[in-house]
Amino acid sequence: MMVFHGSNQEVKEPRLVEPTRGLDFGAGFYLTTSGQQAARFSKIVARRKSNGSPTVNIYEFDMETAEKSLSVRRFAKADRDWLAFVSHNRMKTYSGDAYDVVVGPVANDTVMPTIQAYLAGFLTEEATLVTLKASKLEDQITLKTDKALSLVRFIRSYHSGVGDGKNG
């Protein structure tokens, strides 16, 4: 399957990086099937790091092999299980099962205020889930081990705003 990674630079050799802040699915290499989502994120990364250029990296990921030989956790939607998993990872308190790959909705900029309000105790779980249902969330695929990274092949990259990210 074709997947995308938004960054401030070309990433020919993906690697696992421990984040400086809590992320939805914890440490790992983040991908999406949406070129547009990757382009949006590449602009955020370039702005946050104050260097480089918004860059979308395109890869081929062998999900079929991952499903057969690795530990894959899938979240079909932003439900109670997803919210608990994301909350613990964002707070860096996750201590459950380890996975090679995690797939599910991304808590993007449009829903982060909701997640933050939930984490701060301003919203109940039910209110948070109702709010999330109304949001159209893109997907993310997080590769969490070297075994998972071995199933990724770099194809090419482009600077955001150049190319549509749909056809590679």
Find out whether 40 and 161 touch, Cβ atoms under 8 Å. no
First to last CA, the chain: 11
Q: Is the pLDDT of residue 113 over 50?
A: yes
Q: Is the pLDDT of residue 91 over 80?
A: yes
Find out whether 100 and 150 touch, Cβ atoms under 8 Å. no
Polymer length in residues for the chain = 168
Mean pLDDT of 113-125: 92
Signed CA dihedral, 94, 27, 5, 52: sign only: positive
Band (pLDDT 50/70/90 cuts) for residue 168 is: very low
Mean pLDDT of 103-125: 88
User: How far, in Å, CA of 148 to CA of 168, rounded?
Assistant: 22
